[in-house]
Structure 1
């Protein structure tokens, strides 16, 4: 139980040490990564009920270090535990999963009840190496809100389950890029909530991401192949994407358009999805990706949650509004969504080419907003 204030070189830096308990500390107005695993070889450490507030970037970083893009919690090896922590007000990231080479397949000991808010860039970032544990790992009750750009950014990752929690009041809530076996279950994804808008409206003349299009979740583009599972949503509730005072192009579900290489193909599936609006244009949109030449999106709707008629119990398929995806199928247009809803799952194979070789991983770069 310590108070750490105005540190010019991190907060609690674990260097080549295993089996520590780092608990109930408060760090305020510090420079560089705050609670950090330095070498990437550290294991069996427990970070429990720590708070990091106002994590600032360093003006320069030592060779091999990344403190100019700081995280309140820097994770370089998954084999540790993070429970009940709070990251608030980082100039870059709340939790940064920045693994060293050779440990990306390791499992986490525990990740539960962590809260991330008010970061300038991203709440949780998994990049550039990505995390691909050998067996599925469940991150429990993760709460992410009021982050300027992204709530979560998952890239080059796999076998991660977010069970419980929410992402709220971020310009882009969740981006899933070049990743497979990513699951959100018993989860909420919210656009601009009433509480957030009350704060925005009280700050006259200050910027708000409400003026730009807000997105909920953006899986990477896909066609239906014999490849891996992609992004799965189970019992996920979407809300607050249809505010009349905010950008009209805000949408709960769209597709990531950063990499449009069709050779990374993993099917996306939904079940138990709910919305606070019946307007499909606020729920899902394939319009942006269609303008970039991708017209063979296929998403499995396992239980009929997206059926425009509201009469289906599934399965159904959300597909690009293109004849190659709908020809010979029983489909209905999803208004203003550049998509059609087809009964059954036969449309999943419409227009799909044989599975090509996996895509070459891109060079790690900071993603565009």
Structure 2
């Protein structure tokens, strides 16, 4: 019991000394406490966004196709329906995303000076740069082009029954396909004659000028096209847009399949062997890499593993990029790619708080160095 009493007395004595000690270790008013934690960030790798526009065409053959040459002088009229696809436009653009192989940690005062994107990519040091809103590009899976159940609702200006000298409707007989085709061909000829007369003012009475005249000619063109389609067929079209994101690797990203394309099915997945592969081919520019190697041999720099600040930037590389459909080149461009270059430490002399540094969000390269309250340093 006595030992417990002595122990409690000792604890109270120590507590009293602590409470009575000077408060010099507390933060004074207006004094900032140095940041002692750490921040993990990543450098970007550059992705390539491929946008493909394709046109789908569904062709429906005409019901009078076998008489196209006989009555209209049009040979080889299609006799079957078909579906065709073609690529109408392609484009490339670059974007940045975190590189899982370039994740670093900045500690101490350096960590509190970083500006990062929403996904943790370093874009600034001692800078007021803000991460911009990222554009989301998506493939637009528009509906398959629609073909009416009855694509030929108007096949003639005339009755489909032969006229006979009788009042009994049971005596009417249906016209043959050839008879209907011949009547339609005659109607096409009449439309063309009337259009010709209207164009050369062949009528006795002058036709109205201006918009009314143009409307009349346009309607005659439309009617002629509709009836000619009964012989040569007509097409239904739709446009589709697809977006593919590719992140090429520095070592094994020289060539890869973006998608497959079939002239009868359009854009298909890379696993669908019915389509021909469309390849993205990259030819890195090695002159920059050789130049970097020569500079390192003359004046060695601190490696990323030995950097004191933990802050790095990228010296991106360049590559010639081609999009190939077999042997046909669809597009060729010169792009800057982060992962095809080098990683270097940011010089310690720029990290004393007197400089503002901005980095490119897609390549990780230093975009701007600005001395505070002084002119910008390029």
TM-score for both structures, normalised by structure 2: 0.17
TM-score w.r.t. the length of structure 1 is: 0.17
